[in-house]
Amino acid sequence: MSTSTTSKARAARTASKVTASIASVMLGLTAFTLSACSEQQDAEPAPSQTEEAVNPDITPEQTAFVAELLTEPLPQDEATARIEDAGYVWRLGTIDGEPQAVTMDYRTDRLTLTTDDGLVTDATWG
């Protein structure tokens, strides 16, 4: 075999080894990436926190007010009357599963209400 043929054969074997190494690294990176995505999807959601814990501007009285308001679903007019009598303001955030257009301003004296079939089912401060 000539020197030129031997060099070409050696170069071909080296190129083949490099290609196999690159493919192996790429396969490993792909497996790692997919496993990282899988772990994020399987992660337990954070335990729910009270609004007071999430937002220190919300007072214990406000938290108690919402808890009492939502003890059982109230008709919208009755719930809003209670809110206004307590000195707070309100707005509708969701009506029968349909999100409503609301401003992004934050007010600690305002409740955003969710209603289903005319009953208030949820209320959040802000």
| Four-residue CA torsion sign, 60, 63, 69, 72 | negative
Whether residue 72 sits in one domain with residue 17? no
- Which amino acid belongs to residue 16? S
Query: So what's the pLDDT on residue 67?
Result: 96
Helix (H) or strand (E) holding 95: strand 89-95
Whether residue 72 sits in one domain with residue 19? no
HSE of 95, CA atoms in CB hemisphere, 13 A: 8
Query: So what's the pLDDT on residue 56?
Result: 83
Counting the structural domains of the chain, the total is 2
Query: So what's the pLDDT on residue 121?
Result: 97
Structural domain for 88, as ranges: 51-125
Measured between alpha carbons, how far is 3 from 94 in angstroms, rounded to an integer?
A: 81
Measured between alpha carbons, how far is 118 from 7 in angstroms, rounded to an integer?
A: 84
Measured between alpha carbons, how far is 59 from 54 in angstroms, rounded to an integer?
A: 11
Say which CATH number the domain at 108 has: 3.30.10
Whether residue 64 sits in one domain with residue 121? yes
Whether residue 112 sits in one domain with residue 62? yes
Whether residue 76 sits in one domain with residue 55? yes
0.85 exceeded by pTM: no
Q: Are 85 and 51 spatial neighbours (Cβ–Cβ below 8 Å)?
A: no
Q: Could you read off the pLDDT tens digit of each residue along the chain, which spans 126 residues?
A: 555 556 666 655 655 555 555 655 555 555 555 555 554 454 444 444 455 556 788 999 999 999 999 999 999 999 999 999 999 999 999 999 999 999 999 999 999 999 999 999 999 998
Record the tokens describing residue 126, joined without a space. Answer: 């802000």
Whether residue 115 sits in one domain with residue 57? yes
Measured between alpha carbons, how far is 69 from 80 in angstroms, rounded to an integer?
A: 10
Query: So what's the pLDDT on residue 2?
Result: 58
